[in-house]
Structure 1
């Protein structure tokens, strides 16, 4: 697969045979990225026309156009089982189910909470969590239950002094790594217990000013 920033199309190429299959034609502005589903059967393209399109990878036929009407789309990522897709947009992150009642993609959840445009979003390998990265200098960790639209904010990850370009889970899901425009890379734990313990460590020099936090830290073993 080749996505072209100079045209409105992407090229579908057989990587083993190095054979051109077809052009993916349908976007009305330049194609800025393309990602295969884990099973390789589907391709998603994102475009400067503020839409994403799903395609059958074998033939290049269009499956659906995803239009969250939320401005520019910065990234797209499938869950490991291929059943969901998350789009990072200028306003929010949108989670889509790949199979609705009519076998068409439909919106499962909108992740609201960042105060500036999103730059990246992806799933943990277990599919149960999402991390988003934003121009508001933070990343956010979300619960992403497979069979529910109740996607809750678990934590806001502070520490960068500029926009967070990218965020990824470690393969075991226990850590998040972020890359910021401040030139820094940061690691964060992902469990609630570890996050609370980390917060307690940061607040330890100021516990006299945070009596309630001190009590919470004692309960958490901090």
Structure 2
């Protein structure tokens, strides 16, 4: 009798803890995430116990959905910053109607992997959120272009990005948003070949040599996010 091949292991669903300052809305978001196959382990509107819940439940991703700029909204963002500090293995995705000039740079900080900040009025579909959740869970960074632009306002003159051209900065910003060369080319209305030339040039400007153990694209994004996250 021919032996049957073992079935490949099934990857467990991402465990997501959803925090929102509107309980009704958070219930709807939790249902959408659950329908997409994610395991939503908790959702609540109280930012005060968010860190404790994260430490107890150890989710893969915390989605902080903020509708108000003050009061509970700022409390939620501050809690997200604390989650990043106390649970480094937990990815954080902020969905907000507002950019917080003080807390956004703190959230990204010097360790931008596994973090996202999207503005809700620029989120087109549920798939956009699902892709962002998957990307930060995998250790990537997802930043809304408007957030990137605001962060650039904190740049200092001696930062490593000062030698990049405007086109190279746009390409690097696209890389930080998780876009492929093709996606960047479409957004800039140029060819993929032109984007590839910009990528090669910005690697050279940032002093990123080829390495068998490190990915230059990831290293470039890390340099970029550290630079734009400064006060």
Taking structure 2 as the reference length, what is the TM-score of the superposition? 0.29
Q: 1 or 2, which has the higher helix percentage? A: 2
Q: 1 or 2, which has the higher strand percentage? A: 1
- RCO comparison, higher one (Cα < 8 Å, 6+): 2
Taking structure 1 as the reference length, what is the TM-score of the superposition? 0.30
